[in-house]
Amino acid sequence: MGQVGSQDAFGYTGTTVLRNSKGVLATSQPIAIFDSGEGGLTVLKRAVALYPGEDFIYGADSVHFPYGSRSLEDVQRLFLRFLDFFLAEQVKAVVIACNTATAAALDVARRMSPVPVIGVVEPGARKAAALSRNGHIAVLSTYATYKSGVYLRAITDSNQAAHVVQHPCPALVTMAEAGATDTEQARMAVRACLTTVFACGVDTVVLGCTHFPHMERIFYEEIANRAQIVDPGYETAKQLADVLGPLNREPGGTLRFYTTGLPAEFNRISAILWPETPVQATPLIWQGGGYQTTRES
């Protein structure tokens, strides 16, 4: 038997769990990763690369995309529906791979869930605060994340002297969800967002929406050596082992995908955004007070 220690930064109190001889969590329970659409695939991709022996469930609330234009109350309600679904699937942890849903639902989800719930904001904010030399940090995000001020609070919690420049870039979200991540239109939109924040003297740029790393090549080319880039999804994936203890790094894990939208469309866009990984999503419908799997009509 082994003990997972308390992780106050994640709002999780440890419990007794079984481990194998290598100290790896000895359970076949999957790890759930959630987003409003295809953005969280960037987090899943990082997690699979780090822990290829783990089983993952990816849930996309595609029918309600985009979350960034919704109220935080509405987003919280929508995410908690998925939390119930994940718990019914007996997951061992839930990653909210959506900055807007993290802002809206993380605190209440942690109170409700018997397993750890991890958001993408805190790991990214801590990394940005540690990396920045001049304390001027840009956060590119959706409107809802921008209005919530969640990154402002999280970054200044780590560095009270930090100057946080928040800038919503909703057009990038829509482009990424459509798979238009390597176009001249995407480059011009990225450039416009960066021009605004660089005018404020930032030396660190946080990609505060999980859709944005789908355009990471453009971001790196446009930013060049002017600033450091923080991908909160990658920082969050690394934190899974801090919360759960050693995870399986040997190949052999499985992936399952669910969407409330049209599976064929989800699969098509996923093939553009993550071409090396075959995706066959299962449709979900809201029925009888919970999400149920069903065949695509």
Instruction: Catalogue the active-site residues.
Output: 98, 209
Neighbours of 114 (CB within 10 A): 7
Choose among 269, 257, 279: nearest CA to 33: 257
| Contacts of range 22-28, beta carbons closer than 8 Å, 24 or more positions apart | 22/246, 23/245, 23/246, 24/53, 24/245, 24/246, 24/247, 24/248, 25/92, 25/244, 25/245, 25/246, 25/247, 25/248, 27/92, 28/55
Residue type, 109: A
The count of residues in the chain is: 297
